Amino acid sequence: MNLIAAAIAIGLAAVGAGIGNGLIVGRTVEGIARQPEARGLLQTTMFIGVALVEALPIIGVVIAFMVLGR
């Protein structure tokens, strides 16, 4: 049962990160298309957002290891 819980935690974290990254990058592309002069600021903000979203799967892996007791 612990293995199933760990797999679900990692899987949901990966799915959430994928959706979040897609939304962030999509909205950044829209913003750059509307205001090309703001490209640098938008890309900087996008990279910070992607980095924060990518922390989610790492936390999911840590929780999975805690559930497994390793």
Domain locations in the chain? 1-68
Instruction: Determine the Cα–Cα distance for residues 67 and 48; give it in Å rounded to an integer.
Output: 29
Per CATH, the number for 1-68 is 1.20.20.10
Residue type, 26: G
Sole residue written with tokens 């949901």: 12
Indicate the pTM of the whole model: 0.81
pLDDT bracket for residue 60 (50, 70, 90)? confident
Is there a contact between 60 and 14 (Cβ–Cβ < 8 Å)?
A: yes
Residue 67 tokens read as 């559930």
Q: For residue range 6-30, list pLDDT tens digits in order.
A: 888 899 999 999 999 999 999 999 9
Considering only CA atoms, which of 37, 39, 16, 19 is closest in space to residue 28? 39
